[in-house]
Amino acid sequence: MATIKDVAKLANTSIATVSNVITGKKFVNPDTKAKILKSMEDLAYQPNFAARALKCNKNYSIAVILPDITNPFFGEILKSIQSVVDKSNYQLMVVDTDQSPEKELIALNKFISTNQVDGIIMIAPRLEENRFPSNIKMPLIIVDRPQFKIKNNFSFVYTDNLRSSSMIAQYAFNSGYKTFACISGPVNVPNANIRLEGYCDTLQNCGISKKDIAVIRTEFTFEHGFEAMSQILSTININERLAVFVTSDIAAWGAIEAVKKMGKAIKEQVGIVGYDDIFFSEFLQPPLTTFKTPTDKIGIMVGTMILDQLEDPNKDSTVIVIEGKLKIRDSI
């Protein structure tokens, strides 16, 4: 592997001048520059990453910590982040934490202390606010989770889950449903709590008593959605139309299949509304009404923000709320 030294020798200049043409931070005589460029070309020279990182205290790497790469929702955000980061010379290091807050913390601490990355993006972390290290010196963006209450210098990019679940409740109520249920995610997922809250509060404003709303907390999977829905149907006596807000599309799909299996009619008897709008939601039978979290916009925002912050280290952290959209299809 050719080094800057080899280039300098071949071009008959000093290392410093070669460095100057590489970084472009100083003027160098066009002739000299051409000679150096040619030498670099000839030797297929590529600057050594580690040397540069050591000297500049910059690794041109960004960590992305996410709960489950198998979930297309996170995949879409990651892909969208990459689409903007690709245009810079940063690389993404990806860590799948298997939905474990402990693994999130381990990964976070590792990246903070070893300085192998220049910035960190955490997508939908489950770690409790007060367990986040307070001495984080590099840009940290928290995605798909609302701004923390406790003091910090993190950036946030998220959709307003309170508002969206309120819209969902309102839509269900307006569609003539009389009884209501909610199958929400695990209690350690902040957004699962917020969605439940927004749904219930709004229904209450519509005159539905909170204690009449059946609530199940469970994981975001097909099986758990199926299971929870079965349980609701076997518990509740549906005399009137029942609306169920399932706070993730994948679980909503499970719920739909459970309803079908019990021989009930979707929409006529039991309405289902999901959350996220992942790629298959429009293909379900019936197509799932759900709230779209715009993964593409989020990713682009996050990518742009972190590059900005890396560019200008004393740029302030920011909080961005992105607008989602209720996708009305045919399940409620």
Q: Which is nearer to a copy of itself, 78 or 320 (CB)?
A: 78
CB 229, CB 259: distance < 8 Å: yes
- Tokens standing for 197? 């809250």
Q: CA of 151: how far to CAs of 10, 129, 134, 154, 155, in Å? A: 55, 10, 9, 9, 12
AA identity, residue 193: N
Residues 69-88 that bind DNA (CB under 7 A): none
Residue that has been written with the tokens 């593409």 in this structure = 296
Phi, psi of 125 (to 5 degrees): -70, 150
Q: Which is nearer to a copy of itself, 158 or 249 (CB)?
A: 249
- Assess 160 for contact with a copy of itself (CB under 8 A): no
Binding test (CB under 8 A) with a copy of itself, winner from 3, 61, 231, 318 = 61
Which partner in a copy of itself, DNA, none is near 72 (CB below 5 to 8 A by kind)? a copy of itself
Q: Segment near DNA (CB under 7 A), from 49-57, 96-104, 226-234, 319-327?
A: 49-57
Binding test (CB under 8 A) with a copy of itself, winner from 69, 236, 238, 326 = 69
Which partner in a copy of itself, DNA, none is near 78 (CB below 5 to 8 A by kind)? a copy of itself
In 3D space, the residue among 318, 300, 295, 294 whose CA is nearest the CA of residue 85 turns out to be 300
Residue that has been written with the tokens 């004393």 in this structure = 314
Q: Which is nearer to DNA, 4 or 112 (CB)?
A: 4
CB 187, CB 215: distance < 8 Å: no
Q: Which is nearer to DNA, 1 or 150 (CB)?
A: 1
- Tokens standing for 294? 């715009």
Residues binding DNA (CB under 7 A)? 1, 3-5, 13-17, 19-20, 22-23, 25-29, 31-32, 45-48, 51-52, 54-57
